[in-house]
Structure 1
Amino acid sequence: MARDFRRAADAVAAQIAAGRLRPGDRLPTQRAFARRHGIAESTASRVYAELTRRGLVVGEVGRGTFVRAAQPAPDPALAEPGGAPVDLELNYPVAEGQSELLAAGLARLARPDVLAAALRPSGAAGTPQARAAVAALLAGPAWAPDPEDVLFAGNGRQAIAACLSALVRPGGRLGVEALTYPVVKAIAARLGVTPVPLECDGEGLLPDALLAAHRSAPLGALYVQPTLHNPLGTTMPDRRRAELAAALRESGLYAVEDAIWSFLRTDAPPPLAAYAPERVALVDSLSKRLAPGLTVGFAATPRELTAPVAAALRSCGWSAAGYALAAATGWLADGTAAAVAAGKRADAAARQRIAAQALAGLAARSGPGAYFCWWELPQPWRADTFVAAAARRGIAVTPAASFVVGPHRAPAAVRIGLASPPPPVLRRALESLAELARTGPDDVAAE
């Protein structure tokens, strides 16, 4: 049976390579494909899943399966800068005057005794000063982590990977939101872990979906973004966080809470870790708060997980560099990090206003203060053809398929990153995309 579905997939792939199936062509339904080739519908489903895995086709909810308009990028989405002149794919927020603020903090490291200490090896536990600074950063009225349970990584992605490595065995299952941060999918693949998509609504992850998936086949853990979910911009309300915490306790599962964008929402409810501190490892970093070029990731873990996560950080070589850790500690302690974050909140709000004006009347939505928006494209656009058309205009955006978990069909939507270009360039790019969306793919093809 395995040879049958791969042989059929190879035949379709050969037609695509030869140009007999062209970019944008719609494949027959799986039922029609099965009848045409004399195979079972379940085998046809595996053929389409294999073609999707190879990056040759893309499925869209309610519309069918289409030959991709462009080959997928060789690197994971959102992992490396794109080549387009205007990058609305990655987000590199920069606040006005942040370099001057950060430079003052680096000046103190020029003292020979301070520099000597900063250049020593740094372990997963960092330094007492760093642990205290991060614990103070994360503390709020409802929750404050114990500094002894704060661990450090080179960046947020490494902190996430270490938590997942400690919680989910190879071959295990990880619950994630049905649309999730693409790098988590790549991390799961590296760890030999299967991400399991969980249903969400307008308030975020549904706790009942978590419990149902765990009953169906045990999960190893949950990865979740309660505040400013990437890509949707959703922020879970207080009630949903309490319900999800109760589901974690009922199931006995741990959650990895991604709080990396949460600094943009000072009005959000407390982190999920405040509702179930014994079940949640909270991960954050300074790459978005400060700058991606000199960053530190950190995790505040339940006491039971501190040693396993520290072991994962050490064994994989993911601990933070001493120089970056010393710089970050100073910026956190002297108020620089808070000042830069405040500047980025103001910048994100201004960019949201630009997006609202440029995309008025189109189905683009986001959370207050987010540096990205989720755009459900008007018919008959498909995400991959829109991405290709935008690229021809020199604008890089991210198709919905990058965020979809498993073999499910991707919606006709794209994520727009707002942080990287200067505001005037952002406005022109968004206006160009709005014009493109209203033009339609057939008119673009005829140009």
Structure 2
Amino acid sequence: MTNWHPNIPEGQGPLYIRLADKIAEDIATGALAAGAKLPPQRDLAYDLGVTVGTIGRAYAVVRQRGLVSGEVGRGTYVLGSPVAPALLEDTKPNLDQASGDGIGARQTAAQMTSWVQGAMATPKDIAFSGTRITVPAPESIRFDSTSAPEIGQAEAIRDLTAQITRDAPYEIASYTRSVPESWREAGKTWLSRKNWEPSAGSIVPTTGAQAAIMAAIAATTAPGDQIAFEDLTYSSIARGASLSGRRPVQVASDDQGPLPEDLARICAQKHPKVLFLMPTMHNPTTGTMGADRREQIVTIARQYNLWIIEDEVYGSLRNADVLPFAALAPERTFHVGSLSKAVTAGVRGGWVSSPVSHAQRIYTAHKMLTGGISFLLSELSARLVLSGAADTFRENVLAEIAARHELVQQYLRNFDLVSAPDAPFLWLKVPEPWLSGTFKAAAATSNVLIDDEDEFKSGRSGKVYHRVRIGITNPHTREETAKGLLILRNLLDDSGAGYDSFE
């Protein structure tokens, strides 16, 4: 047992992350030597005046980083100091020192290959020039992504790419300085719903949906402005907004989306400029906002001059009857879609239907933020849509999702989960005594990667859901999906594993 007692540094990040960073720092400096036993979680929680859950999350983080190991009935022990940057520079191969005859270069390249393969053999954090980069194990089952499943897209992409390289060699070799009308027509086609169609003049092609959303934020706000988010949402947008100097503010929500009364209160008190929504197949809850709630939000947005960003990335998978916000309030709505969930993620094809007054601003902001769109990828995205291949792939993707949804029902039907046959993910409530963070860490030790609820919180929140999101489309096969679901079910059934079992 060690007498180690950490002083948790001040900061704005979650307490358990700052504690985990302090543990890592003390291991690196030798304050916690290899083989040292960390204090029992309950004891350390009492000493620091925090909850046991906070300590458990911190211990889970350092276990995931490969810094400690937990042994049932014995405790949590330090494995050893992470490789210091200086030592890493000494031990990794140096290609610049290869001998001129080529033999040394080949030997050094082989050493580099061995070093990289060794680094990727197991999940770990690699120290590199003072930065930690998490490298998942190659055999990990990736339930932490919802990209479109592989259903044979490669052949069509190969053929279309060959056509483009033949038809437009100059455009591929140069920067993209204009937007062909076919790209706008493809965006209009892809974003259209059975009850709404955007105008071609409103369409701006983008490098995926996230770039489109960040361009809309840049075009409508300035650093210091506030942006309203549901308390649960695609948090990468909230984090990206913070990184660009905007300030996220949380709006209380239910299964229909933001609560109108709380949105009105936030608008009156904090005056946000933009509201970010995922109204059709909300991430992570799978819900779709009803028509009445949409009308209420539009009324509030007009009253307080609030821009609306409507993220319809998952909406391309759902045949919803409700009108999109872009139809209800076209003068203030940025309607965003992409190919990533319904066709293919790697092509990075996306579009935004903007209020016509702001289309040029979106184009300029997107170019400033990303360096501009790729002709090859944008042309490929347009041809996928206009040829009808994208619609065919969407149908096949939906069929594959439905088949994997049946596996979910087979393995997890006895648990509290929210799912749908058209949704590439499910929202699972972990049974007591699991916490979402400790369940995520336990799954990771079994080489199954999932997202806990904190991944979807737009800011610090005392609200606890005890849920995890499990994406089912990223594993290569249904067999791999079934294997991962079985591992998770066994963990869920092992209720004792949810307790503080490493003391």
Coarse TM-score class (shorter-chain normalised): 0.7 to 0.9
Displacement after TM superposition at 1:401 (Å): 0.9
Query: SS at 2:276's partner residue?
Result: strand
Are 1:154 and 2:158 an aligned pair? no
Are 1:261 and 2:314 an aligned pair? yes
Letter in 1 for 2:466: A
Distance in 1 separating the partners of 2:498 and 2:198: 56
Q: 1:174 to 1:441 in 2, by over 3 A?
A: farther
Q: Which moved more, 1:388-397 or 1:93-102?
A: 93-102
Residue among 359, 364, 378 paired with 1:325: 378
Displacement after TM superposition at 1:269 (Å): 2.2
Displacement after TM superposition at 1:198 (Å): 1.2
Aligned to 2:468: 414
Asked if structure 1 preserves the Cα contact closer than 8 Å seen for 2:56 and 2:438, the reply is no
Question: Which aligned pairs between 1:122-161 and structure 2 lie closer than 5 A?
Answer: 122-123=176-177, 126-161=179-214
Distance in 1 separating the partners of 2:210 and 2:454: 20
Query: SS at 1:70's partner residue?
Result: helix
Are 1:272 and 2:263 an aligned pair? no
Residue among 102, 105, 114 paired with 2:168: 114
Question: Which aligned pairs between 1:278-297 and structure 2 lie closer than 5 A?
Answer: 278-297=331-350
Asked if structure 2 preserves the Cα contact closer than 8 Å seen for 1:26 and 1:65, the reply is no
Distance in 2 separating the partners of 1:130 and 1:80: 37
Aligned to 1:37: none
Residue among 145, 157, 163 paired with 1:90: 145
Distance in 1 separating the partners of 2:421 and 2:135: 25
State TM-score, norm by structure 2: 0.74
1:395-423 CA-partner distances (Å, limit 9, x unpaired): 11111111112221343221101001111
Query: SS at 1:69's partner residue?
Result: helix
Aligned to 1:240: 293
Aligned to 1:38: none
Aligned to 1:169: 222
Q: Which moved more, 1:206-215 or 1:334-343?
A: 206-215
Q: Which moved more, 1:311-320 or 1:152-161?
A: 311-320
1:14-44 CA-partner distances (Å, limit 9, x unpaired): 6895565556878469xx94xxxxxxxxxxx
Displacement after TM superposition at 1:253 (Å): 0.3
Are 1:6 and 2:13 an aligned pair? no
Q: 1:315 to 1:387 in 2, by over 3 A?
A: same
Displacement after TM superposition at 1:185 (Å): 2.5
Structure exhibiting the larger radius of gyration computed from Cα positions: 2
Distance in 2 separating the partners of 1:413 and 1:222: 25
Asked if structure 2 preserves the Cα contact closer than 8 Å seen for 1:154 and 1:318, the reply is no
Query: SS at 2:168's partner residue?
Result: helix
Aligned to 1:437: 492
1:116-135 CA-partner distances (Å, limit 9, x unpaired): 33444224x62211101211
Q: 1:209 to 1:367 in 2, by over 3 A?
A: farther
State TM-score, norm by structure 1: 0.83
Asked if structure 1 preserves the Cα contact closer than 8 Å seen for 2:165 and 2:172, the reply is no
Unmatched tracts of structure 2, length 5 or more: 1-7, 27-31, 66-124, 127-132
Distance in 2 separating the partners of 1:361 and 1:350: 18
Aligned to 2:284: 231
Question: Which aligned pairs between 1:397-412 and structure 2 lie closer than 5 A?
Answer: 397-409=450-462, 410-412=464-466
Are 1:427 and 2:418 an aligned pair? no
Distance in 1 separating the partners of 2:375 and 2:316: 24
Distance in 2 separating the partners of 1:21 and 1:341: 52
Letter in 1 for 2:169: L
Query: SS at 2:10's partner residue?
Result: helix
Distance in 1 separating the partners of 2:134 and 2:214: 18
Displacement after TM superposition at 1:306 (Å): 1.7
Q: Which moved more, 1:418-427 or 1:64-73?
A: 64-73
Q: 1:66 to 1:330 in 2, by over 3 A?
A: closer
Asked if structure 2 preserves the Cα contact closer than 8 Å seen for 1:264 and 1:370, the reply is yes
Displacement after TM superposition at 1:69 (Å): 1.6
Residue among 257, 265, 270 paired with 1:217: 270
Asked if structure 2 preserves the Cα contact closer than 8 Å seen for 1:27 and 1:66, the reply is no
